[in-house]
Amino acid sequence: MISIARLTTVELRKMADTRSGRWLLATAGLISAAIVLIILLAGEPGDLALAGLFAPTLWPLSIFLPILGVLSVTSEWTQRTALTTFALVPERHRVATAKVLAALLLALLAAAVSLAFAAAGNLIGLLAADGDGSWRLTAADLGKGVLFLLVTMMIGVAFGMLLMNSAAAIVLVLVLPVVWSILTELVRAIRTVAEWLDISVTSGLLIDAEVTMGGQDWAKLGTSVAMWVLLPAGAGLARLLRREVA
């Protein structure tokens, strides 16, 4: 039996081996680097610190990682490789587990790259831009930044598993949070509920330097993750285990 570690390695490689995967990763990295450069050129000296540079680099990743999460699951069906995959590994739940682990590992690698960009920017700011130069980044802030990327990645995986169609899942992942935010602005009656279910807001607090998250903020984040990640992932896994492979 193929081990989960080997399956995870294979799935991680598959996410970067495709042309779309490489372009998404390269584009996300370039935008993160560009954000650091813009802050170095136009930011205030107080912003040129490790903590001040790290959080902004996570925003572009929060857009591209869910798309990669979608593709990591839907590629088996859109590229017609599901028959080969499930013939080699008949236990579909093991394949699903490997895909989730690979997605989480990629999110961790993305966080490490963002931290490296922020560190390089901080050093340049210290030497050439009269920046603050502080290397202070608390474990809590680093952990929240990493959690932010893990949550955004898992949204893509969950919707990809639920729909098993790349185009539909990507559109929903990108459009639904926007539609939900617009609805909360237009319909006052759902604003209280929206505070608990709008994951773009609840997860955004994780990298908002001006906010110290309290117990209720964490409860809201957990509730929105249950709706946007756990619910579609559970339904998607049930569908994956039963779907006919043509």
DSSP per-residue letters across 56-122: HHHHHHHHHHHHHHHHHHHHHHHTT-HHHHHHH---HHHHHHHHHHHHHHHHHHHHHHHHHHHHHHH
Residue 140 is encoded by which pair of tokens?
């809590």
Q: Which amino acid is at 161?
A: M
pLDDT tens sequence across 91-147: 888 888 999 999 999 999 999 999 999 999 888 887 776 766 678 888 989 999 999
Residue 233 is encoded by which pair of tokens?
């992932």
Q: Phi and psi dihedrals of 80, rounded to 5?
A: 60, 40
How many of the other CB atoms lie within 10 Å of CB of 226?
Answer: 14
Give the whole-angstrom CA distance, residue 232 versus residue 246: 23
Domain ranges of the chain: 4-242
pLDDT tens sequence across 98-107: 999 999 999 9
Q: Report how far apart, in Å, the C-alpha atoms of 66 and of each of 107, 132, 219, 222 are.
A: 10, 33, 23, 18
Per-residue pLDDT band for 226 (boundaries 50, 70, 90) equals: very high
The pLDDT value recorded for residue 67 is 93
pLDDT tens sequence across 41-56: 887 777 788 888 898 8
